[in-house]
Structure 1
């Protein structure tokens, strides 16, 4: 059986997904460089990244407000860019009755 391969954060049909957020958080914490899109990664690689991101969040109670200023600023920048990109491609953060 062929392993499932991740298409990359900038190639996803939906911009704001849990997998994309794992990658963004990995950028915030410097686990992977910001130019790493994870394109071509196996699902096992994404799962391993999730584990590292979860461990990085633990000292901060998984709350942005608990991050030190440098990380909080990086988080704000990365997520602002992601939201801008997502909206440019038609993403609407409002949920409707079908969501």
Structure 2
């Protein structure tokens, strides 16, 4: 099976968008890199990688910790990621597989 050349869009992604690309997009929303209406549907990996570089630069400013974000970004982070977690759980995601490497 061939890998797709473009991203399906966070709203159509597997696991309710709880994928690596989905997390990049949500963080881009948090930092205002992308508008919250941007699903990145049809984007190629170079476009996603460009967003990742910008997201990483923003996280670096805050030591990669939510607790170091200014209050308005903490609120936005909680709202965006909280809604995503809630939606993903409704779609059957539980998040336990993300802890498997910690064992």
Normalising by structure 2, report the TM-score.
0.87
Normalising by structure 1, report the TM-score.
0.90
Answering whether residue 50 of structure 2 is matched by residue 11 of structure 1, we say no
Counterparts of 2:23 and 2:95, CA distance in 1: 14
- Mapping of 1:33-48 within 5 angstroms? 33-48=35-50
4+ runs deviating over 6 angstroms: none
Q: Secondary structure at the match of 2:97?
A: coil
Question: What is residue 80 of structure 2 aligned with on the other side?
Answer: 78
- Mapping of 1:19-98 within 5 angstroms? 19-95=21-97
CA RMSD of aligned residues (A): 1.8
User: Any gaps of 5 or more consecutive residues in structure 2?
Assistant: none
**Post-superposition CA distance 1:64-97 (Å, at most 9, x none):** 000000000000000110001101101112239x
Counterparts of 2:43 and 2:62, CA distance in 1: 28
Counterparts of 1:95 and 1:53, CA distance in 2: 24
Query: Mean alpha-carbon deviation: is it higher for 69-78 or for 6-15?
Result: 6-15
User: Any gaps of 5 or more consecutive residues in structure 1?
Assistant: none
Counterparts of 2:46 and 2:61, CA distance in 1: 25
TM superposition shift of 1:5: 0.2
